[in-house]
Amino acid sequence: MNISWDDARLFLAIAETGSFSAAATRLRIGQPTVSRKLAALEYQVGAKLFRRSVEGAALTAAGERLLQPARKMAEWAGEFQRAAESRDSTPKGLVRVTASPFFSFDFLAPFAGHVSGKYPGLRLEVQSTIQYADLGRGEADLALRSVATKNADLTCVHTLELENAVFVSKALKAKLPKRPTLQQLPWVAWAPPYESVPPNPQLAALIPGFTPVFTTDNFLVMVAAVEAGVGAMVLGNFPHRFSTQRERGLVPLDVDLGAHGKQTLHLMCAKSALDIPRVRKVSELLVEELERVRRR
């Protein structure tokens, strides 16, 4: 029996997403192709690997036995790819950076212009997402995260502590008390399925009966609502040189966020990714910018 990495990756995508459609999205192929390839794999293995239902796809006992080996294959496939790319002699090509919607929108997008200006051969792909990409598997090259993942194959390249602040439009600020309390503010926050994403839980802990005046599942819609004066939102007070907060007309309020007034930003990557010239160069440029913020 000779199971290819493509077959193992297909199996893993279904197992981890829990559905054929989500696996198709992750692999960027059609759902009929997922079904066809899985049927061929199950025929090769000689056993059903998933039970399909309206809730999705659940692993069978035979599938459970393959899950951990498939995950190890994914990690080694990422390592293999990085080892091959470390032979590149110059920093050129695509570098994938993953971060939260805020850091993607406010920092990485304008940072990409800085990178292309200095190194025209470098290109950035920014993955703006709430979920963590698996750096070991090569789902991204670099990550800006609030938590330093504890994994022997990953390294924390740089760490920066930031202040959090409450931002509103200038028009709304003019209508509020000089030093409003958290309870006095109309809040813009995450809607399902992201209701557990910060700062929702933190605000709920600080404000009894926390009820936002506006919710959405899209970060840019949240920002647009704040710009329109609908309410306030918590953002990292990240005074980098590319910031557009002032141009967007957002201003910070003098509000005490207590224990949630700070956050930590970690630049993470797989250890072997730094052997790839293009990844190493982008990481160095990111560290330079984070250090600029620290010195301000």
Round the average pLDDT of the chain to a whole number and report it: 88
The predicted structure's pLDDT at residue 129: 87
Task: Give me the torsion for CA of 144, 147, 153, 154, rounded to 10°.
Answer: 30
What own/partner pairs with CB < 8 Å and gap ≥ 24 does 207-215 have?
A: 207/182, 207/183, 208/183, 211/187, 212/186, 212/187, 212/188, 213/186, 213/187, 213/188, 214/186, 214/187, 214/188, 214/189, 215/188, 215/189, 215/190, 215/191
Q: What does the longest C-alpha to C-alpha distance in the chain come to?
A: 72
| Spatial CA neighbour of 14 closest among 31, 133, 273, 118 | 31
Q: What domains are defined for the chain? A: 5-85 (1.10.10.10), 93-157+264-295 (3.40.190.10), 162-262 (3.40.190.10)
Instruction: Give yes or no for residue 252 having a pLDDT over 70.
Output: yes
What is the rounded CA–CA span in Å between residue 273 and residue 268?
A: 10
**Hey, what are 291's tokens?**
């250090």
* pLDDT on residue 86: 65
The secondary structure of residue 191, as a DSSP letter, is: P
Q: Which pLDDT score is estimated for 223? A: 93
Contacts of 235 (CB under 8 A, 6+ apart): 102, 106, 164, 165, 167, 245, 250
pLDDT attached to residue 247: 56
For residue 147, the model assigns a pLDDT of 85
pLDDT digits (tens, 9 = 90+) for 7-19: 888 888 898 888 8
Structure tokens at 55: 């809730």
Collapsing DSSP to helix, strand or coil, 253 comes out as coil
What are the pLDDT digits (tens) for 153-172? 899 999 999 999 999 999 99
Q: Which carries the bigger pLDDT value, residue 62 or residue 233?
A: 233
Cα separation, 119 vs 281, in Å, equals 9
The H-or-E segment that residue 295 falls in is helix 277-295
Residue 269 confidence (pLDDT): 93
Express as a percent the part of the chain with pLDDT over 70.
96
The DSSP output letter for 174 is H
pLDDT for 107 equals 93
Q: Is the pLDDT of residue 262 over 70?
A: yes
Mean pLDDT of 15-34: 88
Strand runs labelled E in the chain: 50-53, 56-59, 93-99, 122-128, 142-145, 154-169, 188-190, 214-216, 233-237, 250-252, 262-270
Least confident of 34-43, 75-84, 150-159, 286-295: 75-84
Above pLDDT 90, what percent of the chain? 43
Confirm if 253 and 166 have CB atoms less than 8 A apart: yes
Q: What is the mean pLDDT of residues 115-135?
A: 89
Confidence of residue 23 (pLDDT cuts 50, 70, 90): confident
**291 has pLDDT over 90:** yes
pLDDT, tens digit (0-9, with 9 covering 90-100), for 81-101 = 777 766 666 788 899 999 999
One-letter identity of residue 109: A
Q: Which of 24-33, 57-66, 81-90, 284-293 shows the lowest mean pLDDT across its residues?
A: 81-90
Q: What mean pLDDT comes out for the span 214-242?
A: 92
Please report which confidence band the pLDDT of residue 283 belongs to, taking 50, 70 and 90 as the band edges: very high
Give the pLDDT confidence score for residue 151 in this predicted structure: 80
